Amino acid sequence: MSDIVLCKSPKKPIILGIESSCDETAAAVIRGRKLLSDEIISSAPVQALYGGVVPEIASRAHTDAIDEVVARALKSAGVKKEELDAVAVTYGAGLLGALLVGLSFAKAFSYGLGIPLIGVNHIRGHLAAAYLEDESLEPPFITLLASGGHTAILYAKSETEFEVLGSTLDDAAGEAFDKVARVLSLPYPGGPQVEALAREGSCSVPLPVMLKGEGDYHFSYSGLKTAVINYVHTKEQKHEEWSRADVACSFQHAALDILVKKTAEAAHEKGVKTVTAGGGVIANGYLREELAKMCAREGFKLVLPAKRHCTDNAAMIASEGLLRYRAGLFSPLSLNAEAYIPLG
Ligand code: KG4
Ligand code: ZN
């Protein structure tokens, strides 16, 4: 890597981001914090036929799509590959076969062009999505992370350092949405389906509020999920009428209200003025509204990524790539894909 040329455009580096950890093959180009292009080819419609992501299908779909998605991203950004300053790529966590497609492609780009490779932790990518939304966003701030694999409240001390204040003790919020979707016979991916159904219902089903003690930032979703399953089974066994929309609405409120409450507590405790969020569940309209109301009431500035930057995308990987580029955090070409990376 000795022939790498650093900082062709030091203040506003042009970075290609690549994401292939699950069922989206994505590529994006940024110049500084400005997003120049943002492309996704998704295998979700095929995965939906199987009721979830089949790893082998995901790997094959990435292999088919990666060339095209990167070419599209460069073309719509109006950037030649020789102009890139770095390539940032998700190296974990995720499906190994899927990750390896993006990672191998990024390594070849880095080696061929003599530019740095920046391995990005997918979750840090979700957290960095907010930087694309607001040029002036600066730590410290509190971030609510809610995705298919994680639910946590974090304190961002600097652009590259986070303290985990609390996290889920069992299921992640997105996982709970997906499981409840199955109980309600809704197709994959479940989160947006539950949200849509919830809009037609009222919150009339008594469900336990998930709290693991006041004064901490830990969550538990398995009790809530079990309560939904028990409610539905009991109604069916007794042949009683019940409303799927009311269950969806009641579950959504129980699952999300606690996140808003705990985020407010964390922001007050840390004395920050700004709240951000990231991860697929943050695309939920009810959660976005409740976060906005809470921040208006409590006097915090709220920076939410656009909905398309909450679910998996490459713009967030490029954004995290920029933070690491500025900090000089580059990766060797020996970087390996990781199925699991601890949050801390
Ligand atoms: O961040 P993400 O795209 O992938 C992971 O890194 O996990 O999150 C996917 C999760 C899924 O569980 C999905 O059901 C959930 O985010 N999700 C939603 C919504 N959109 C996606 N959950 C609730 N409401 C939504 N609108
Ligand atoms: Zn994700």
pLDDT in tens, 190-209: 999 999 999 999 999 999 87
Q: Which ligand is nearest to the CA of 317?
A: 2
Same-domain status, 74 and 177: no
Nearest ligand to the CA of 173 is 1
Q: Are 272 and 314 contained in the same domain?
A: no
pLDDT (0 to 100) of residue 152: 97
* Rg, C-alpha atoms of the chain: 20
pLDDT score for 211: 62
pLDDT at 235 over 60: yes
How far is ligand 2, taken at its centre, from the CA of residue 53, in Å? 13
Q: Same structural domain for residues 18 and 65?
A: yes
Distance from Cα 312 to the centre of ligand 2, integer Å: 5
- Ligand 1 atom with minimal separation from the 178 CA: 14
Flag whether pLDDT at 129 surpasses 90: yes
Give the per-residue pLDDT at 2: 38
- Read out DSSP for 241-289? ---HHHHHHHHHHHHHHHHHHHHHHHHHHHT-SEEEEESGGGG-HHHHH
**C-alpha of residue 161 to centroid of ligand 2, in Å:** 19
Say which amino acid occupies 194: V
Between the CA of 144 and the centroid of ligand 2 the distance, in Å, is 14
Ligand index nearest the alpha carbon of residue 188:
1
Which residue in 87, 75, 90, 77 sits closest to 114, CA to CA? 87
pLDDT computed for residue 208 by the predictor: 84
Nearest atom within ligand 1 for CA of residue 284: 26
Residue 5 pLDDT greater than 50, yes or no:
no
Is the same domain home to 236 and 263?
Answer: yes
Average pLDDT over residues 120-139: 97
Reply yes or no on whether the pLDDT at 59 is more than 80: yes
User: Can you read off the two tokens belonging to residue 185?
Assistant: 């016979």
**Binding-site residues, ligand 1, Cβ < 6 A:** 126, 147-149, 174-175, 177-178, 189-192, 195, 279-281, 283-284, 311-312
Q: Are residues 146 and 289 in the same domain?
A: yes
| Pair 194, 285 in one domain | yes
CA 106, chain centre distance (Å): 21
Mean pLDDT of 54-80: 97
Asked if residue 219 is part of any domain, the answer here is yes
Q: Write b or e for each residue in 212-223: b if 16 or more Cβ atoms lie within 10 A of its Cβ, otherwise e.
A: eeeeebbbbbeb
Residue 243 has which token pair?
């409303």
| Same domain? 297 vs 156 | yes
Contact 93, 338 (CB under 8 A): yes
Domain assignment present for 72: yes
In a domain, 336, yes or no: no
Domain assignment of residue 188, yes or no: yes
Least confident of 15-24, 125-134, 216-225: 216-225
Helix (DSSP H) and strand (DSSP E) numbers for the chain: 10, 10
- In a domain, residue 339? The reply is no
Q: How far apart are CA 301 and CA 305, in angstroms?
A: 13
Q: Is pLDDT above 90 for 284?
A: yes
- A 10 A CB-CB count for 229 gives 14
Q: How far apart are CA 191 and CA 182, in angstroms?
A: 10
Percent of the chain with pLDDT over 90: 88
20 found inside a domain: yes
Is the domain of 281 the same as that of 224? yes
Which amino acid residue places its CA nearest to atom 3 of ligand 1? 311
Overall average pLDDT of the 276-281 stretch: 98
Q: Is it the case that residue 3 has pLDDT exceeding 50?
A: no
For ligand 1, atom 19, the nearest C-alpha belongs to 191
What residues make up the domain containing 301? 137-307
Determine which residue's CA is closest to atom 13 belonging to ligand 1: 191
Instruction: State residue 10's pLDDT score.
Output: 64
What average pLDDT does the segment 201-221 reach? 82
Residues 271, 175 share a domain: yes
The rounded Å distance from CA 199 to ligand 1 centre is 17
Is a pLDDT exceeding 50 seen at residue 328? yes
pLDDT at site 9 = 52
Q: Average pLDDT over the chain, rounded to whole?
A: 94
Residues 263 and 294 in one domain: yes
What is the mean predicted confidence (pLDDT) over 49-74?
A: 95
> Is the pLDDT reported for residue 212 higher than 70?
no
Q: Which of 90, 147, 179 to mutate to test the pocket of ligand 1 (most atoms within 8 A of CB)?
A: 147
Q: Copy the structure tokens of residue 144.
A: 């609510």
Does residue 8 surpass a pLDDT of 90?
Answer: no
Number of structural domains (the chain) is 2
Q: Quick check: is 341 in a domain?
A: no
**Long-range CB contacts (< 8 A, 24+ apart) of 224-228?**
224/176, 224/251, 224/254, 224/255, 225/171, 225/176, 225/179, 225/180, 228/180, 228/183
From atom 14 of ligand 1, which residue's Cα is the shortest distance away?
A: 191
* In a shared domain, residues 272 and 160: yes
Q: Are 62 and 93 contained in the same domain?
A: yes
Mean pLDDT of 169-173: 93
- CB 126 within 8 Å of CB 147: yes
- Within-domain flag for 296: yes
pLDDT above 50 for 115: yes
Q: What is the mean pLDDT of residues 246-261?
A: 96
**What CATH number is associated with residue 275?**
3.30.420.40
Six-digit token string for 95? 């499906």
Residue 91: pLDDT band (50, 70, 90) is very high
Q: Where are the alpha helices (DSSP H) in the chain?
A: 44-48, 55-77, 96-113, 122-133, 173-183, 190-198, 222-237, 244-270, 285-298, 315-326
Are the CB atoms for 59 and 97 separated by under 8 Å?
A: yes
